[in-house]
Amino acid sequence: MTKYASFYQRSIEDRDGFWAEQADLIDWQVKPSQICDYSKPPFAHWFVGGTTNLCHNAVDRHLKDRADQPALIYVSTETGQEITYSFAQLCDEVQRMAAILQSLGVKQGDRVLIYMPMIAEAAFAMLACVRIGAIHSVVFGGFASHSLATRIDDASPVLIISADAGSRGGKVVPYKPLLDEAISLSQHKPSAVLMVDRGLSAFTSVPGLDYAYAELRQQHMNAKVACVWLDSAHPSYTLYTSGTTGKPKGVQRDTGGYTVALAASMQHIFEGQAGQVYFSTSDIGWVVGHSYIIYGPLLAGMATLMYEGLPTRPHGGVWWELVEKYKVTHMFSAPTAVRVLKKQDPALLSAYDISSLKALYLAGEPLDEPTAQWIADGLGKPIIDNYWQTETGWPILTVANGVQKMPSKFGSPGVPMYGFNVKLLSDSTGEELTGAQEKGVVVIEGPLPPGCLQTLWGDDERFVKTYWQSVPGKLVYSTFDWGVRDEDGYFYILGRTDDVINVAGHRLGTREIEESISSHPNVAEVAVVGVADALKGQVAMAFVVAKDTSALGDANARLKLEGEIMKLVDSQLGAVARPSRVLFLSLLPKTRSGKLLRRAIQAVCEKRDPGDLTTIDDPTPLQQIKQQLDV
């Protein structure tokens, strides 16, 4: 048996022994008395009786050995700001922020919603929350007022932390008007809003509600706020993600399990060492930003490079220039970003000294082989695909080079990671598929390893129903992804089994987009489908049956309505959710029993054979799609 195979086997068969060892990677105030309590499946309680603190392990713990070494390197090619915080400086900033939170009434267990661009203050805010046991909930800055309002209502935060604006491609994107609108739309009202003013976009403060960060920071300049020792099961944060319904799910993570899982992943998967530099190009609004911009690298004593800007501005080699300048050792990005870089001059890949770089990790969407090969050839570095989800917090499938060097196979993220008992089940019978090349649903047997979601915020029942009861008669966690395994045990991910789509590595629910479009007065019915796209992996396309069709024979009138619908989605959900096209049909393609034929629509848009159409009620709408797309 290979070294990794026995490491993996032990994680499944001697679960408690395995994770007890991993638990030693972090500092505990009180060591756990029990490793895993799985007496109430599917709820797993990791490191029972232990008390620890995520901020202590990420920041304070390193003060003894590396107070003056870089911890947070902040670079914005949007504003030109570039600043490095040592561990000591980061600790000071986090304590100032923690004191501000306390002065605004935030207590242990309270929620703090963070709606911020990629600025250092966002990192301070997250760390300050976990320092005092407040539960942060970061909402991606690209989401607009309606999306934000639903998250405010679900998280019911005491405090919201935001900023005047973000910036993208040199264009200022104001946040404050969207936040004000979201607060007016939400039922729940926060008691305070803390505003970081970057001086990018003037705004009016709401008296009695809004507080200026710069002023309060001044008041708390010398604040000392100790880390609060928290029960291992205390929630560290919630992070909203999309599912099949319009209501986003608040993925809830614990403290002890998450800290151990990330510390272990930094060692076994990323081979990260204190003093090295980790550069993840994700955003704090997504799970990769939580695990591998903020917590993972800092837990390992590495500096983390936090970047605001595009990969192509001021020039297409800016990332490699940063690798050279800051001696980046680990990079983490998404396949879409690589496909964007593919359009740039390939000479840029070798224009800088990137000898410090050990590997480029890619995740979030399928990594196609040509893209992987292109970047591998261009950089001359290992390219490591890894597959996981907001729910799991760290990779389910990849290669654990820190345990044993294993070859990557392009097109496959790799093998199951330690702790994840991954299986493939037949979607028709629910039986386990053990043969090579058999396509099934990727599931994980409980208990999920440390670091994965504990539950959905405020909704244990939805947690159980959504993830654990999709296969009748079996209590297994469904990833809602199709997969196959090859003869060597490497998995290949073949897309989602549900209506979730993946646009440029961003996970979006089609239902949310449909609900937004339905609110247009001239929309009778709508379906949103994910369609393959060479750059973004997938794009959302909307198919609309209009109420008043009298004008729609005219191309200009169709364009006008299409524009209105796109604007509506922009303003409610944000540009990330905007459909790439809106097509108008006389009716939606459905079966005689009224079920929407999503796959047939998708196939027609992707110029594929729509397959068996014997159950279709009326084929006209598929022809209308063909005509309009000219396929």
Cis check: omega of the bond before 311, within 30 degrees of 0: no
DSSP states along 441-453 = EEEEESSPPTTS-
132 vs 493, which CB is nearer to ligand PRX? 493
CB 262, CB 291: distance < 8 Å: yes
Tell me how far apart the alpha carbons of residues 122 and 114 are, in angstroms, rounded to a whole number. 7
213 vs 394, which CB is nearer to ligand PRX? 394
Does 387 bind ligand PRX (CB under 6 A)? Our answer is yes
- Smallest distance, ligand PRX to C-beta of residue 60, A: 28
Question: Which pairing describes strands 330-333 and 277-280: parallel, antiparallel, or unpaired?
Answer: parallel
- Smallest distance, ligand PRX to C-beta of residue 362, A: 7
71 vs 452, which CB is nearer to ligand PRX? 452
Does 385 bind ligand PRX (CB under 6 A)? Our answer is yes
Does 140 bind ligand PRX (CB under 6 A)? Our answer is no
Give the binding range for ligand PRX (CB under 6 A) out of 82-90, 358-366, 446-454, 604-612.
358-366
- Smallest distance, ligand PRX to C-beta of residue 418, A: 18
> Residues 291-330: x/- map of binding to ligand PRX (CB under 6 A)?
----------------------------------------
162 vs 390, which CB is nearer to ligand PRX? 390
Give the binding range for ligand PRX (CB under 6 A) out of 69-77, 307-315, 359-367, 447-455.
359-367
Does 466 bind ligand PRX (CB under 6 A)? Our answer is no
CB 471, CB 478: distance < 8 Å: yes
- Helices 555-572 and 510-518 sit at what angle, rounded to 10 degrees? 120
> Which one among 479, 516, 538, 624 touches ligand PRX, defined by CB under 6 A?
479
With b meaning 16 or more CB within 10 Å and e meaning fewer, what string describes 407-441? ebbeebbbbbbbbbbbbbbeeeebeebeeeeeebb
Tell me how far apart the alpha carbons of residues 434 and 567 are, in angstroms, rounded to a whole number. 48
Q: Bridge partners of 171?
A: 168
Does 337 bind ligand PRX (CB under 6 A)? Our answer is no
Give the binding range for ligand PRX (CB under 6 A) out of 58-66, 92-100, 212-220, 361-369.
361-369
CA proximity to 545, closest of 573, 566, 514, 568: 514
Q: Which residue has the tokens 């999309």?
A: 242
Helix-strand-coil percent breakdown of the chain, rounded to 5? 30, 25, 40
- Quote the DSSP letter at residue 229: P
- Smallest distance, ligand PRX to C-beta of residue 144, A: 19
241 vs 624, which CB is nearer to ligand PRX? 241
Which 398-427 residues touch ligand PRX, going by CB under 6 A? 413
493 vs 566, which CB is nearer to ligand PRX? 493
Which 26-85 residues touch ligand PRX, going by CB under 6 A? none
- Beta-strand (E) ranges in 41-110? 43-48, 51-52, 70-76, 82-86
Does 142 bind ligand PRX (CB under 6 A)? Our answer is no
- Kindly list the strands in the beta sheet with 70-76, ordered across the sheet, starting from the edge strand earlier in the chain: 82-86, 70-76, 303-308, 277-280, 330-333, 359-363, 383-386
- Smallest distance, ligand PRX to C-beta of residue 413, A: 4
Does 287 bind ligand PRX (CB under 6 A)? Our answer is yes
H helix or E strand, kind and range, residue 165: strand 165-168
Does 502 bind ligand PRX (CB under 6 A)? Our answer is yes
> Is residue 369 classed as helix, strand or coil in its secondary structure?
helix
1 vs 534, which CB is nearer to ligand PRX? 534
> Which one among 365, 499, 514, 515 touches ligand PRX, defined by CB under 6 A?
365
Give the binding range for ligand PRX (CB under 6 A) out of 64-72, 221-229, 384-392, 567-575.
384-392
Within 13 Å, how many C-alpha atoms sit on residue 370's CB side? 5
Tell me how far apart the alpha carbons of residues 229 and 528 are, in angstroms, rounded to a whole number. 46
> Which one among 52, 76, 162, 241 touches ligand PRX, defined by CB under 6 A?
241
Number of residues that bind ligand PRX (CB under 6 A): 21
Q: Could you list the residues that contact ligand PRX (CB under 6 A)?
A: 241, 287-288, 363-367, 385-390, 413, 479, 481, 493, 496, 502, 507
